[in-house]
Amino acid sequence: MGEEREVPERHHDIPPAPSRRSQRGLDWFVFFLADVQTGFVPFIAVFLTTQHWTQSEIGFALTVGGLVALVGQIPGGALVDAVRSERLLAGLAVVAVGVSSLALVIYPTSEIVLGAAILQAGANCLMAPAIAAISLGLVGHAAVSVRLGRNARFTAIGSIVAAAAMGLWGQWFSNHTVFLVTAALCVPALVAICFIRGEEIDVERAHGGKAARHPGEPLAVIRSFAHNRPLVTFAVCALLFHLANAAMMPQLASAITVRSGEWATVLVGACVIVPQLVVATLSPWIGYRAQAVGRRRLILASFAALAVRGALFAIVDNPFLLVALQILDGLAGAILSVIVPLVIADVTRGTGHFNLAVGTVGAGTGIGAALSMTLGGQISTAFGSSAAFLVLAGLAALGFMLALMLMPETRPQES
């Protein structure tokens, strides 16, 4: 795979010049997509509770959706690599989310709810690789870091706006109408993606360059990824990051609830909003820095921020200071939102399997996040939240050492 990356890409060496219309179309598509995604998963448990579902029934539906979201990452990436129009695939995924949202409102039986959860999870498996592919195909490898920074900014802003608006909407009207709003927001998302000119998305570049003559089946390609040492190292780093990170917010919410009493709801909400504000502010700058200083330094910075955050959570008691420390979560999140697809684009250049690699790494990070929840909960129950934070900080420190010793710089020399 390393040899394939050295093959010149003919006209693909010419830097693309996407129009302002296409760039803005992608901005707004990412924004409305964040709105749509925010409006589904967080509110489904609330909605099903009002429909008199038991906690075990709700948990089963959410678990099935979560498993589909995890298992579907790899076939989702392979499908994006296989199609010739990432815009069409992304549009169909948005329609699927809209249909599942409407189905919940119209006929919320157990079969429909389960089907809606599966459909929504499957659609989300296509979103990340499709957006990454559109971004890469639109601007090319040399400018994709800046483009990914813009994507992260509009995603963060969309998440903040949607969480606030839908929370108020559900409070003023009813919980089930949130899903009507979610379905309605699919319309501007589809309009936005129509503004991206299809002819400006280079298909070969969107898939990571020209594929080998005989690329083989997706499973064979995944096995071949094992020989791509930078990709394997980065995938392990990403898994460790999410293993250390995913449990921190639930543990933090529990700690704040115990320590702050009546302020708990407001402070936990602030813990969610603060990192998103930091991501919205810093992501474009992270994109520029990734080109200026390379990827490796930023990967190390993300692990350092995570380790310091976990260590401070273990010793800080003031709930307001705990909220302020969420700035570190925003810093790490801003870096990861740009660096993950960027490094994958670097190390799969010329293979034609960029999006399959995105799905494969995504599946690994999903496993890390799932294990993190179990690990954090078990340690907290047995030894307390401070011990859980310290263990999670230790995992982040382990990831830092792994990246320091084994992760190469992947920024192309010509960039």
**Residue 127: predicted pLDDT:** 92
- For residues 63 and 200, state if they share a domain: yes
Are both 232 and 300 inside the same structural domain? Answer: yes
What average pLDDT does the segment 376-402 reach?
94
Task: Work out the average pLDDT over 261-280.
Answer: 84
pLDDT band at 104 (very low <50, low <70, confident <90, very high): confident
Q: Please tell me the distance from the alpha carbon of residue 245 to that of residue 340, in angstroms, as a whole number.
A: 15
End residue of a domain, out of 207, 223, 258: 207
Q: Give per-residue pLDDT as tens, 248-259.
A: 988 888 888 877
Is 5 a domain residue? no
At residue 397, the pLDDT reads 97
Q: Is residue 294 part of a domain?
A: yes
| Cβ–Cβ under 8 Å, residues 12 and 202 | yes
**278 and 145 together in one domain:** no
Q: What's the rounded Cα separation, in Å, for the pair 349 and 333?
A: 24
Supply the pLDDT for residue 39: 61
Q: Is residue 4 part of a domain?
A: no
Nearest to 342 by CA among 399, 413, 286: 286
282 or 414, higher pLDDT: 282
- Which of 12-16, 40-44, 45-49, 366-370 has the highest average model confidence (pLDDT)? 366-370
pLDDT of 335 > 80? The answer is yes
- What is the pLDDT confidence band of residue 59, given thresholds at 50, 70 and 90? confident
Q: At 224, is the pLDDT very low, low, confident or very high (cuts 50, 70, 90)? A: confident
Provide CB contacts within 8 A for 346, sequence distance 6+: 141, 230, 295, 410, 411, 412
Q: Which of 86, 97, 120 is nearest to 187 (CA)?
A: 97
> For residue 352, is it within any domain?
yes
- In order, the DSSP letters of 15-77 are PP---HHHHHHHHHHHHHHHHHHHTTHHHHHHHHHHTT--HHHHHHHHHHHHHHHHHTHHHHH
| Residue 415: inside a domain | no
Q: What's the burial of 415, exposed, middle or buried (CB within 10 Å: 0-12/13-18/19+)?
A: middle
Question: Tens digits of per-residue pLDDT, 20-48?
Answer: 999 999 999 999 998 887 766 667 777 77
The number of folded domains in the chain is 2
CB 369 within 8 A of CB 148: no
Q: Are residues 236 and 138 in the same domain?
A: no
Residue 56, Cβ density class (10 Å: 0-12 exposed, 13-18 middle, ≥19 buried): exposed
Pick from 9-18, 56-65, 93-102, 358-367: least confident = 9-18
Q: What percent of the chain has pLDDT over 70?
A: 91
Look up the CATH number of the domain holding residue 279. Answer: 1.20.1250.20
- Shared domain check, 240 and 203: no
Tell me the whole-structure pTM to 2 decimals: 0.87
User: In this predicted model, which residue has the larger pLDDT, 186 or 60?
Assistant: 186
> What is the domain extent for residue 362?
212-410
Q: Is residue 159 part of a domain?
A: yes
Q: Is 191 in the same domain as 226?
A: no
Which one of 207, 231, 259 terminates a domain?
Answer: 207
Contact predicate 399/240, CB 8 Å: yes
Where does 246-384 have alpha helices with state H?
248-260, 264-293, 296-315, 319-324, 326-347, 354-383
Instruction: Give the end of a domain, one of 174, 207, 240.
Output: 207
Query: In the prediction, which pLDDT does 246 show?
Result: 92
pLDDT at 6: 38
For residues 216 and 203, membership in a common domain is answered with: no
- Lowest-confidence pick of 164-173, 188-197, 318-327, 398-407: 164-173
pLDDT of residue 15: 61
pLDDT for 3 beyond 50 = no
- The mean pLDDT of 366-395, rounded to a whole number, is 92
Residues 200, 220, single domain; the answer is no
Q: Are residues 344 and 378 in the same domain?
A: yes
Residue 365 has pLDDT above 80, yes or no: yes
Residues 372 and 230 in one domain: yes
* pLDDT given for residue 280 in this prediction: 94
Arithmetic mean of pLDDT over the chain: 86
131 and 244 in a single domain? The answer is no
Residue 2 lies in a domain: no
Residue 119 domain-assigned?
yes
